[in-house]
Amino acid sequence: MIKMELDAAGVRDPELREAYRQCRTINAQHGKTFYLATRLLAPKQRPAVHALYGFARVADDILDDLAGTATIEQRAERLQELSTRLFSSLVDRQSCDGDPILTAVVHTARTYDIGWDLFDDFLAAMRMDLTVTDYPDRQSLDRYMHGSAEVIGLQMLPVLGTVVPREESAPYAAALGKAFQLTNFLRDVDEDLTRGRVYLPADELAAHGVDRELLSWCQANRRTDGRVRAALAEQHAIARQVYDQARPGIATLAPPSRPCVAAALTLYSDILARIEAIDFEIFGRRATVGKPRRLAVAVAGIGKAWVNRVRLRRV
């Protein structure tokens, strides 16, 4: 399968092919819902999407330091090193020194003319995560989400292609990235607390009598206090509104890309629905979409993708 994708994308260099293979493996291992949706893309599009995901994952792993041994200063230094190496390759065309993830993402950025500023904004948001643990209001959270979520949708847009000028499709792509992240924020309140972070606006929580102390109580007792449930329900409604803003953008994409994005939107929306279905009891359990549902969405998307490809061949 990967050979077919790389051949379709015109990637011939052995080192570059191996770089894309490693990105694909990272996506398959860590981004199961997203990876499933990428199977609906045309083969030639998939390597680029895997490269973008792989780069984002590398930065995220530096940030979270799963081994738990790096200090904030050390993680900041590693992020800066990643940034320096990326832009040295993008701007000055310096070697990636055998780093497969950088090799693939730099090739993708050049191939699809992805704005370098989007990578800069993404890395700036990652740096925020080193020291910012709470967000006082929606405006401050939105600033963070621009770099951590919206730019991901904007990076994807040149790969997906559009039937309108790209700038017309851009707000929808940004909104979809934001919707996905808002879903993750709700699903992962428990996990984020363990990492010392709260990705919900403090003033909106406070309107329901909720603060970090109460959230920590819920985590310790593995139950959702009524005040927290009301606050989460409000955040849930906001996330739904962002999905509604993003949905019309699917029609602005190139036809071969629509089934993939529609499937991703459906599956992440299902996570949001699952959070509501368990009555926001998100402490000690993780809201997930079952495998039968994921497969059903994928099968439906495969059918639509096949029809779109057949139509294009006839044009």
- pLDDT value of position 297: 58
Mean pLDDT score, 53-63:
93
Lowest-confidence pick of 48-57, 89-98, 275-284: 89-98
Mean pLDDT score, 254-282:
93
Whole-number percent of the chain with pLDDT over 70? 91
Adjacent-strand bridge partners of 201: 135
Q: Report the distance separating Cα 25 and Cα 219, nearest Å.
A: 33
pLDDT per residue over 149-187, tens digit each?
A: 999 999 999 999 999 999 999 999 999 999 999 999 999
Q: Report the distance separating Cα 252 and Cα 172, nearest Å.
A: 9
pLDDT-based confidence at 66, cuts 50/70/90? low
pLDDT per residue over 203-228, tens digit each?
A: 999 999 999 999 999 999 999 999 99
- pLDDT value of position 210: 98
Residue 310 pLDDT > 50: no
- SS3 for 216-264 is HHHHHHCCCCHHHHHHHHHHHHHHHHHHHHHHHHHHHECHHHHHHHHHH
What torsion, rounded to 10 degrees, do the Cα atoms 129, 132, 136, 138 define? -20
Mean pLDDT score, 106-127:
96
Alpha-carbon distances, residue 44 vs 14, 37, 80, 200 (angstroms)? 17, 15, 32, 38
Cβ proximity of 307 and 276 under 8 Å: no
pTM > 0.85: yes or no: yes
Residue 268 pLDDT > 80: yes
Q: Report the distance separating Cα 217 and Cα 225, nearest Å.
A: 9
Lowest-confidence pick of 141-155, 158-172, 259-273: 259-273
Residue 24 pLDDT > 70: yes
Q: Report the distance separating Cα 151 and Cα 154, nearest Å.
A: 5
Give the residue, 48 or 301, on which the prediction is more confident.
Answer: 48
Mean pLDDT score, 271-281:
95
Q: Report the distance separating Cα 247 and Cα 175, nearest Å.
A: 9
Give the residue, 195 or 235, on which the prediction is more confident.
Answer: 235
CA–centroid distance for 44 within its chain: 20
Residue 269 pLDDT > 70: yes
Mean pLDDT score, 285-308:
60
Domains in the chain with CATH codes: 1-131 (1.10.600.10), 153-314 (1.10.600.10)
Q: Which two tokens stand for residue 112?
A: 């699809």
Mean pLDDT score, 251-273:
92
Cβ proximity of 105 and 86 under 8 Å: yes
Q: Which of 91, 153, 98 is nearest to 121 (CA)?
A: 153
Residue 129 pLDDT > 60: yes
Neighbours of 212 (CB within 10 A): 15
b/e per residue, 131-163, with b = 16+ CB within 10 A? Answer: eeebbeeeebbeebbbbbbbbbbbbbbbbbbbe
- pLDDT value of position 1: 75
pLDDT-based confidence at 65, cuts 50/70/90? confident
Q: Which two tokens stand for residue 178?
A: 């934001």
